[in-house]
A and B are shown apart, each in its own frame.
Chain A
Amino acid sequence: MIAWIWILAAPLFLGQGALWLARMGGKAVGRAVGVGPYAGGKAERPGLGDVLAVGICIEVGLACAAHLCGVFLGFSLDGVTAIWGVAVLAVCLMSGGAFLVRRLRLRKDKFQRKAYEKEKLRKAMTREEYSGLQQWLCILFALSAILQVVLIATGQTAVRDGDMTVETVQAFLRENGIYRSNPLTGRPYGLGQPLRLKILCLPTLYAVLCRLSGAAPLQLVERMAPAALLAASYCVYARLGDLLFYGDRTKKWIFMAFVNLMVWLGGSLPVLDGFQLLHCGWQGTAVRAGILVPYTIDSCLRGKWHRALLCILAEACLVWTLYGLGVCFFITALFGAIHLGRGLKRKRRGDGDERASF
C-alpha cells in the first residue's frame, strides 16, 4: 500500500509542485517546465497528463542526481535514498509554499479574486455534458484500461527476457550500494560494465522506492510500476488527443480507444509502444514509449520546446542513447526543422499565404 502511494503520489506532487512554482513567477523554472500562452492566448491550465509527465521527468532527474552520487562518490543505497527523499520533500515543500502564497495573494487582492471566481463560474456554466455515445466510449475505454492495469498488477503479462532490472534492484538492496556486484550472479564484478549503462538511474529509483516502502522488488518493479506507468501514459495520450481533435470529445475518446487497442495488440512487434507498456512497463524504453515520446510530440505540436527539453533530459537518464541524444531529441529536432522550414517558406511567399503547408 505504501509503495502504491509512493509510486502514484510522487510524480503527482512533483509535477503539480513544479507547475505551481513555475506559475508563481520564477521565470527560469517557468521556462524549464513550460507555462506559457495557451491556444487562443489564454494562460495555460495544466491537465493531469501534463502534471504526471512533468512529475515523472522531475522524479527521474532527482533520482539520477542521487544515483550519480552513489556511482561516483560511493554513497550507500541508504545515503542515496536520503538524498532523493530530501530532494523530493524540498520540491514538495517549496510547491506547497508557492500554493499557499498564491492563495494568500488571491485572498488579499480583490480584483484577482473576482476574476478567479468569474472564471470558475464561466467554466461551470460552459461545461458540456457528455453525450450518450461519449459516455459509452468512456466506459468502454475505462473498462479495457482497468483490465490491462489489473493484468499487469497481477504479473500476468510480464516478460523479463533480455532485462535484468529486478535482479539489479535486488543486488542494490542486498549490498546497500550501487553496482557493487554482478546482479545476474551476485558475484563481484571482474571487468565491470559500460559507463553509459552505469549512469542510467531507473534501477536506483526502484531500489529507493523499495527501501522507502518496504515492498518486494519483484512486486514493485514488475507489477506496480508498470501498472502506474500505463495509467499515466493514458493521461498523456488523452492530453495529446485533446490537442489533435481540439476539444471534440467523441473523436478524442475514439482516439483513446484505438490507442488502447494498440496496447492490447502490440505483442506481435516487441519494439512497439503496446508491447512495451503491457509486457515490460518497468523498463526505460517503456517510460520513453509511454510518457516521453507522446509528451514530446504534444509539446512540439504546442510549440513548448522547453518541455521537450525536459523529456530529452529524462530520456538521457533512463535509456541508453547516443551521449544523451535519443528518440526525444530526434523528434524535437525534426519538428524544429519542419517548423523552421515552414516558417521560411511562408516568409518567402508572403505572411498571409499559409498554403505552404502542403
Chain B
Amino acid sequence: MKELLSNAVGGWKQLIGDGKWMVLFLGALLYCWYGVLKKSGREVLAQQALARQMFPGRGFPGDGLLRYAAVSLLLVAFPPTAALLLLYQTRFYDPVWLASFLPVTVMTAYGAARALTESYERFGKKSTWRALGLGTAAVLLFLMCAGAGVGFEGDVQEMQDAQEVLDHLEEDRNAEDLFLWAPADLLRDVRALDGSVTLLYGRDMWEDALKAHSYEEYLPEVVACYRWMEQSCAWLKGESDEGFDEEALQPCVVAALGQGVNCILLPQGMRGEELSKALEGAIVEGGYSVKRGQAPGYDCYWVGPRAERA
C-alpha cells in the first residue's frame, strides 16, 4: 500500500512536471466553475428553464462535463483514491497514465473556447484586431504551458538506412533465411521492415517497456553478445576509447553462431580492421567458414559451416 501511495504521488508529480497541461486544465475548470457560481438566482432559473427545454432531464452538457472533470481530478490528485485507480489501471501502466482518467483535452479546449468568446463579448465593441489579439494571447499561453520545443522526431531516415542495408543483404544471401546479429541501431528497425529476418535479440533487450509484452527471457550468453556488440560499436564509431573486449569475443561468437546466426554486421570505422581480423579468427576457430562483404555503412560477415562456404 505504501508503494502504491508513493507511486500515486510520483505519478501526479510527473503529470504536473512535464509541461504545464494540468495548470491549463485546472485553469479551464476554475474558469467554468466560477462562471456557474457567479450567476444570480434569476440567471440560474432562466438557464434551468432553457436546459429543461433543450436537454430534458439532463441539464446543460457543459455543466455535466464540468462535474465529471472536477470529480475525476479530485480522484486522481488525492493519493488514496489515486492508489486505487493505479490498482484499477493495472501494473502494466506507469503512474503517469492516471492522466487517462482526466478529460484534459476536452475540458481545456472547452474552457479556453468559453473564456475566449466570453471575454471578447465582454469588451462591448467588437473588432477584428481585438479578436486577433485575444486569440494570439490564448495561443501563446498554450505554447508556454505545453513546454514548447519539447517534441519527438520521427524515424524516417533511420528506417530508410535500415531498408538500404536489408536490400543489400537480400542480394548477397544465398536463398537462405537471414539470421542477423548486428548493432541495436540497426536491429531496432529490421523486423518492422522485413518479417522474414530472424534476430539474435530484439528491441526488448534494451527497451524495458517491451519486456511486459511476453514472458520470454534472454539467455545470459545472448545478453553478453548484446553487451559485446554495443561496446565494440561505440569503440568503432569513436564514441568510446575502451576498445573491444577480446576475451569475450570468442565465447560470444560461439554462442551467437550456436543460436543459428548466419550474418554478422559491424559498423565501418577507422579502427575496423583490427576488430575484423579478430572476429574472422573467432568465427574460423569456432569451426565455421566466413565470407566478408559490405552493406551501406556496415561490414558484413556471412557465416556458414566450413564445408558449405569454404
Contacts and interface: CB of A to CB of B under 8 A. Distances in A.
Interface stretch (A3-11, A19-27, A54-62, A262-270): A262-270
B290 to A, nearest CB: 23
* Chain B binding surface, main DSSP class: helix
A158 B155 contact: yes
B55 A355 contact: no
B58 A301 contact: yes
B294 interface: no
Contacts of B112: 254-255, 258
Interface residues of B, number: 89
A269 B19 contact: yes
Given A157-B154, A162-B209, A184-B202, A338 B67 contact: yes
A339 B131 CA distance: 37
A335 B68 contact: yes
Contact of B148 (A155, A265, A322, A335): A265
* Chain A binding surface, main DSSP class: helix
Interface in B4-23: 15, 18-19, 21
Interface in B111-126: 112-114, 116-117
Given A160-B192, A272-B104, A41 B154 contact: no
A344 interface: no
Contact of B197 (A186, A237, A271, A342): A186
A272 B21 contact: yes
B101 A327 contact: yes
Interface stretch (A91-99, A100-108, A192-200): A192-200
Interface in A169-210: 170-171, 173-174, 182-187, 189-194, 197
A244 B108 contact: no
Interface stretch (B85-93, B246-254, B302-310): B85-93
B64 interface: yes
B216 A182 contact: yes
Contacts of B67: 338
Interface of B: 15, 18-19, 21, 33, 36-37, 44, 48, 51-65, 67-68, 71-72, 85, 88-90, 92-93, 96-97, 99-101, 103-106, 108-110, 112-114, 116-117, 131, 138-139, 142-143, 146-148, 150-152, 154-156, 159, 191-204, 207, 209-210, 212-217
Interface of A: 39-41, 133, 154-164, 166-167, 170-171, 173-174, 182-187, 189-194, 197, 217-218, 237, 240, 243-246, 250-251, 254-256, 258-259, 261-262, 265-269, 271-275, 279, 285, 288-289, 293-294, 297, 300-303, 320-322, 325-327, 330-331, 334-335, 338-339, 342, 354-355, 357-358
